Amino acid sequence: MKTLSKIAISFAVVVTLTCCVKDYGSGGKASDATTATIKFNENFVKSLNLKNSQDFDDSKRGLIAKPSGKITTAVGEVLVDFDDFKFEEGMAPHTVNPNLWQHAISNAQFGLFKVTEGIYQLRGFDIANMTLIEGKSGWIVVDTLTCRESAESAIAFARRHLGNKPVSAIIFTHSHVDHFGGALGAISSQEVAKRKIPVIAPDGFMEEATSENVMVGTAMARRSIYQFGKNLERSAKGIVDNGLGKAVAYGNVGILPPNRIIRQPKENIVVDGVLFVFYNVPGAEAPAELTFLLPDKKAYCGAEIIQHTMHNLLPVRGAKVRNSLGWANYLDQALKQTVDAEVFFAQHNWPIWGQERIAEFITKHRDVYKYTHDQTVRLINAGYTPREIADMVKLPKSLETYLASRGYYGDLRHNVKAVYQFYMGFYDGNPANLNPLPPEESAKHYIELIGADKAIAAAQVSFDKGDYRWTAELLNHVVFAQPDNKNAIKLLARTYDQMGYMAEAATWRNSYLTAAYELRNGPPKKGIDRSYMIDMISQTPIERFLDAMAACLNGPDAENINLKINLVISDTKESFVLWIENAVLHHKKAPPVPNANATLTLTKDIFIKMIAGTAGVKDTLMSSNLKISGSKIDLIRFFRLIEKAHGKFAIVTPKS
Structural domains in the chain, CATH included, are 2-20+528-640 (3.30.1050.10), 61-424 (3.60.15.30)
- Give the pLDDT score at 417: 98
| CA dihedral sign of residues 429, 430, 436, 440 | negative
pLDDT at 624: 83
**pLDDT reading at 654 higher than 90:** yes
Q: What is the mean pLDDT of residues 99-104?
A: 96
Q: Is the per-residue pLDDT at 646 higher than 90?
A: no
- 411-420 pLDDT, tens per residue? 999 999 999 9
Asked if residue 85 has pLDDT above 80, the reply is yes
- Taking residues 451-480, report their average pLDDT: 98
Question: CA-CA-CA-CA torsion for 476, 512, 321, 369, nearest 10 degrees?
Answer: -120
Q: What is the pLDDT of residue 288?
A: 97
pLDDT tens per residue across span 194-246? 999 999 999 999 999 988 777 888 899 999 999 999 999 999 999 999 999 99
Neighbouring C-beta atoms of residue 600, cutoff 10 Å? 24
More confident residue, 65 or 22: 65
Mean pLDDT computed over 119-138: 98
Q: Is the pLDDT at 7 greater than 60, yes or no? A: no
Buried b (16+ CB within 10 A) or exposed e, 185-210: bbbebeebeeeebbbbbbbbbbebbb
Per-residue pLDDT, 621: 62
Res. 622 pLDDT band, cuts 50 70 90: low
Instruction: Indicate if the pLDDT at residue 180 is higher than 60.
Output: yes
Tell whether the model's pLDDT for residue 334 goes beyond 60: yes
Q: Whole-number mean pLDDT of the chain?
A: 93
What b-and-e string marks burial along 283-310, b requiring 16 or more CB atoms within 10 Å of the CB? bbbbbbbbbbbbeebebbbbbbbbbbbb
The counts of H helices and E strands in the chain are 24, 21
Closest to 155 measured CA to CA, from 184, 117, 118, 197: 184
| Rounded distance between C-alpha atoms, residue 214 and residue 606, angstroms | 18
Q: Which of 446, 538, 494, 493 is nearest to 184 (CA)?
A: 538
Q: Give the tens place of pLDDT for each residue, 553-608.
A: 999 999 999 999 999 999 999 999 999 999 999 999 999 999 999 999 999 999 98
Question: Could you report the per-residue pLDDT of 261-279, keeping only the tens digit for each?
Answer: 999 999 999 999 999 999 9
Distances (CA, A) of 654 to 13, 217, 441, 449, 511: 23, 21, 10, 20, 17
